[in-house]
Chains A and B, each alone.
Chain A
Amino acid sequence: MFESELTVLSLLGIFIIFSMGQNIMLGYARLPMMGFMALTAAGAYTSAILTAWYGFSFWLALPISALLGTLFGFSISWLCVRTKEDYLVIVSIGINYLVVAILTHAPYFGRMFGVVGVPPPSILGVPLKHISQFAALVWVITAVLIFLEVKLEKSPLGLALRAVGDNEATAESLGVNSLKTKVLTFMIGSAYGGVGGSLFAHFLRSVHPRYFTFEGSIEVFIMPLFGGLGTTVGSIVGALFLAALPEFLRWAYETRFVIYGILIVLLSIFQPMGLFGTDSYLTRKLTPLSAPLMARIKVLRGKLSNK
């Protein structure tokens, strides 16, 4: 029952992870990384190879994927961070193409056949065979990652990231090491990519170079921009909206991507910070509405902490 809905739901969770990872790089530190799928591929292939070929369990493969994703992000960050903004775009596109080329041609990665036979993740020896169980797993992990990103948003590191994104020179003058911060941004974003990629591999039960092309990267690149740049809510909304849009526009069949293109153009003209970004129309309208509620929450919190 509800299998197609649950499939979409799991995919949405995975896309939210991608979108948040992209948001950390693009939204906070304003690094236009356009090859997010390369980072995802690192996590997905690690997970797929470890579980399908070496019999690792999902719970061991997931942190290893995150770690390898982070390492991959670190190793490309020194190339990406040194260059100017425009050059970062081309370098990251290039890395995406190179990764896909390597995955397609290297014998170890199964060439164009990819890695197949990824087993379903299991909890306490019970494999999660049904999609509903998998969807639940995805959403638990997504919830943890959302929590972490909200924490990051408020933490000193998050503030440093934003400062560097807003104005690098000013951030430097206030004692923020911008190079180090940018590299850290890359690593955190890549960790999200690695976790998301690992889930992606288990969701599809196989990995294939075709899943990690530049077109997918563009889609992920647009997500946080659409929902609201530099906010966790925005990246979630963007992922939900853009990943679910094709499902809602089924009736429009092929035209839906035309609509998608028009939406992006309109957005960049009228609301470039996204639907729920800083100073967007919706944020301005919603903030006064939610103000009493937020005040209430503040009071409650104060009471709780006083006790």
Chain B
Amino acid sequence: MTLEQQIANAIAISGLYVMFAVGFMLIYSVLRIIHIAHGSVIVVGAYSNYFLFLLTRNFVISALISMLIAGAAGALIEELVYRPVILRWGTGLFTLVASIGVHTFVDESFLVIVGAVHKGYPEAINTITLNIFGTEIILIHLITVALSLVSTLSLYTFLMKTRSGLALRAVAQDLELAAVRGINPRKTALMAMIIGSVFAGLAGTLLSLRYNWVYPAIGDEPIIISFAAVILGGMGSITGAVLASFILGFTETFAFAFLPVPFTRTALGFIAVIVTLLIRPQGLFGRKK
């Protein structure tokens, strides 16, 4: 593969990582929960898209509905699990445990209901390529990058320009002060969960289309990647999460292409995280507390 193609691949995978990371970052900075079950929401999104596509045979409709389903799943997790735990015991270790429980429950349920087999879409669209300036670009990569650009920019505008976005940012900075100023932390948390989960749903859809398969453990790697990206980029910074996703995507692609040792992408991500934590514990774009 030529260098241009490697770069195109790196941008494509980074675009997907941005979608993982931004949703996770929003939830992490507003709720302060290590939302391991974010991976499960990605699984929900991927499977919803798969089955809806079998029903409707239309990728636009199936993707849109699966985003809604993922958002609903996020809202359910927040209302049924996180909220009771937070109200009783506060955030911290116990919300992490609850998240692990949800993750186990959802993934194993999928394993029981649909089985562990990798299922492919009847019409593989990850083989369609476009030729742009002599570089072969796979259509789904282009769509992924475009969608992640659009959705991240709209989230950025939402956070910066609207009152609800202001509330989200306020809660992310200081929950108690925000509550004193009349912001309902519960409503804000629900909003963050829904937005983050919609991102996860879209990411799951794109992930399943990219590799043309769905399987119950499809969300395991993304959750690690998004956690790594958030630590790398710094808490509560969209710019940081986006940049970190690109760092992870490029490192992975080029390490895979040029290093003699095949290294798993998660391991590479973690080397980046550990080095970052050693040099700059608050992340690349994080504020020091």
Contact = CB atoms under 8 A, between A and B. Distances in A.
B232 to A, nearest CB: 10
Contacts of A104: 264
B140 to A, nearest CB: 27
Contacts of B263: 101, 105
Nearest to A257: B108
Contacts, number: 117
Contacts of A26: 93
B270 A257 contact: no
Q: What bracket does the count of chain B residues touching chain A fall in? A: 35 or more
Contacts of A184: none
B267 interface: yes
A119 interface: no
Q: What bracket does the count of chain A residues touching chain B fall in? A: 35 or more
B interface SS class: helix
Contacts of B273: 90-91, 94
B228 A261 contact: no
B111 interface: yes
Contact of A97 (B84, B92, B261, B264): B264
Given A79-B277, A101-B263, A254-B111, A268 B270 contact: no
A101 B32 CA distance: 29
A260 B111 CA distance: 14
A145 interface: no
Most chain-A Cβ atoms within 10 A of its Cβ — which of B108, B227, B281?
Answer: B108
A265 B105 CA distance: 9
Nearest to A93: B224
A105 B261 contact: yes
Most chain-B Cβ atoms within 10 A of its Cβ — which of A87, A89, A265?
Answer: A265
A268 B281 contact: no
A254 B106 contact: no
Contact of B231 (A90, A258, A262): A90
Nearest to A221: B100
B112 interface: yes
Contacts of B261: 105
B151 to A, nearest CB: 25
B102 A265 contact: yes
A255 B266 CA distance: 29
Given A97-B267, A265-B102, A268-B101, A30 B278 contact: no
Contacts of B88: 269, 272
A91 B97 contact: no
Nearest to A269: B84
A257 B281 CA distance: 36
Nearest to B89: A272
5 contacts: A26-B93, A30-B93, A82-B281, A98-B271, A258-B105
Given A90-B231, A263-B101, A268-B95, 10 more contacts: A90-B273, A97-B264, A97-B267, A98-B271, A100-B267, A101-B264, A104-B264, A264-B97, A264-B105, A265-B105
